[in-house]
Structure 1
Amino acid sequence: ESARTKSGLVSLIIPCLTGNMVYALIKLGFLEDERLGKAIEWILTYQRSDDGEERPPLGEMYDRYRSCWGSHSCHMGVAKTLKALSAIPEPKRDARVNAKIQELADYFLKHRIYKKSHHPEEIAKPGWMKFGFPLMYQSDALEMLDIFASLKIHAPELDDTIDLVRRKQTVEGVWNLENSYSDRMLVTIEHKGKPSKWITLRAVRALREYR
């Protein structure tokens, strides 16, 4: 909150954290709250899916954080805002929401989720190949596949990610925690290198859609 305006500052809004808050509040039952509606409208209005082919966007919203709003949109911002919109129940999605979901999904299909769009044989996000929970502002290939599964999007561009998830299943039939931000939290949520009920839930849920 600004001491001068007594409200939030436009220049301090970033997409990944906005997406996380919208997702959480939808899951907590606040979809009809007017304030959440404004946050969803912000995503529809400002979230970008630029792939390095255009000039960076200009304006008060975009000028402060070039890592979020450069000529190539931040993967985390696209991921978390797509996650937020995917949490809106299908009957509640209007044409603008559906169009933005498609736009953001197409962005990740071009990248094969974690690869380079212009060189799809190269990995752009090696960290996304290590599955974690919770991920806070970060994301990974499994979280993205889970989002695509919830949207029932099927495309050959997802095949590498599906294979990656399948390969990581242990002989016991579960998935291990490979990435963790527990050191930043008040409590430890599972342990790296150990079987994870949260990673396993995501993997099973996603692979059920793509079996």
Structure 2
Amino acid sequence: MYHVKQEIIDWLLEDNNPPVKFLTMSKIIKKTDDVELDKVRSKINSYKPINEILQNQIENSYWFDSHKKHNYKKYLGSYWQLKFLGDMFANKNKQIENAIEHIFNTGQTTSGGFSYDGTNSSTIMCLTANMLKILIYFDYFNDDRTQNALEFILKNFADTNGKIRCQPAGLIPSCYMTLPKILHALSTIPNKDQTTRVEKGIKLCVERLLENMIYKYIPDKNREFLKANYKVGSQQRIENRNKILEKEPNMKKLPKKGWMKFGFPLSYASDALDSMKALVSANVKLDSNMQDALELIKSKATNGKWVNENKFKSPMYTKIDEYMQESKWITLHALEVLMYYEGLKIVD
């Protein structure tokens, strides 16, 4: 049982962050008064970061530039604003609806996936997973275009037994950072709509995360391999990697240092806390391979609060959390994970 002080809960319930207040009321202390919850929910879009993103929208439709090649502009393009708005539990309005139409019209390819420049060849799995999660959050699940995005993920992930086209340069077989994104998206699908293919996709994500103890997925010879293959062409590098992995299938795995630093919001990257939160979303039962990640989460708390260790290097329209300062968002997420896997007791 994880103990959290009442003063931490009171801090999360402060009025200056309506979405965190709403989520704390509904998920942590389990408020059931719909009138009270609706009152707080109605104020979510007044939260400064949400308001500033919406104020920077152009023609009530897009951000930065309307051309399809600018949707992925870090971190000013339309893709990122929709992701940030969804991650902060913004209430859907006409501006958000128009922005969703914009990315459908300019960002989704004929394959169903979303592309960083609007072309099929530039379709990205992690981007598509991010957008699928946001589309479902904003109640677009039954839209045919959302179904096309889902089909892209199922065809290119679940149906390929978890293979992700994006190939890292080192000894990691495919993009591991995408797994929490896919798991978040697929577990957001209503239970009644989770087909056997969706269930397979979830199962693949969960298995791979657990077999790597969530954040320990870097082969111990990865740096050596990168150094030796620095000037080798991509195809030859893949062949060299496959030979090593075939020869040493049980290579020791090291922690991904970046995953040991927690941040909010996240873009294409992931971390151990976000991955554990994805496992919670998928209702995955406690497993011994989660233990190190849970201990890592608990070790990050200082006086019952967690800090934001993630720093965006590209410009944004708003500052959601200060770098290396206490974060209500990360504290909330940590408590959600700990409550699910260890139980939570509020103490004086």
> Structures share a fold, TM > 0.5?
yes
Which residue matches 1:91?
192
Q: 2:283 aligns with which of 152, 155, 180?
A: 152
SS in 2 for 1:189: coil
Q: Which runs of 5+ in 2 are unaligned?
A: 1-67, 70-108, 111-117, 220-249, 343-348
Deviations 1:92-115 (A, max 9, x none): 211110111001111111111110
Which residue matches 2:329?
198
Which residue matches 2:296?
164
- How many Å apart are 1:121 and its aligned residue? 5.7
- How many Å apart are 1:152 and its aligned residue? 2.0
Which residue matches 2:318?
187
Alignment partners' CA distance in 2, 1:113 and 1:119: 16
Alignment partners' CA distance in 2, 1:202 and 1:24: 18
Which residue matches 1:105?
206
Deviations 1:35-88 (A, max 9, x none): 0001001101102635xxxxxx8xxxx4xx5339x9711012222112111111
- How many Å apart are 1:150 and its aligned residue? 1.7
Which residue matches 1:42?
152
Alignment partners' CA distance in 2, 1:46 and 1:121: 26
5 Å-filtered alignment, 1:1-211, equals 8-47=118-157, 49-50=162-163, 62=165, 65-67=166-168, 72-116=173-217, 118-119=250-251, 122-123=254-255, 125-153=256-284, 154-171=286-303, 173-181=304-312, 183-211=314-342
| Structure 1 runs (4+) greater than 6 angstroms displaced | none
Output the amino acid matched with 1:159: Q
Seq. identity, %: 35
Alignment partners' CA distance in 1, 2:296 and 2:336: 15
Indicate if the aligned counterparts of 2:262 and 2:310 stay in contact, CA closer than 8 A: yes
Indicate if the aligned counterparts of 1:112 and 1:161 stay in contact, CA closer than 8 A: yes
Q: How many residues align?
A: 193
Deviations 1:123-181 (A, max 9, x none): 1x11000000111111100000011112221211111101100111111x111111132
Alignment partners' CA distance in 1, 2:133 and 2:312: 19
Alignment partners' CA distance in 2, 1:120 and 1:147: 25
Alignment partners' CA distance in 2, 1:184 and 1:107: 33
Indicate if the aligned counterparts of 2:133 and 2:186 stay in contact, CA closer than 8 A: yes
SS in 1 for 2:177: helix
Indicate if the aligned counterparts of 1:146 and 1:206 stay in contact, CA closer than 8 A: yes
Alignment partners' CA distance in 2, 1:40 and 1:113: 24
Using the size of structure 2 for normalisation, the TM-score is 0.52
Report the structure number with the largest CA radius of gyration: 2
Indicate if the aligned counterparts of 2:183 and 2:282 stay in contact, CA closer than 8 A: no
CA RMSD of aligned residues (A): 2.4
- How many Å apart are 1:183 and its aligned residue? 4.4
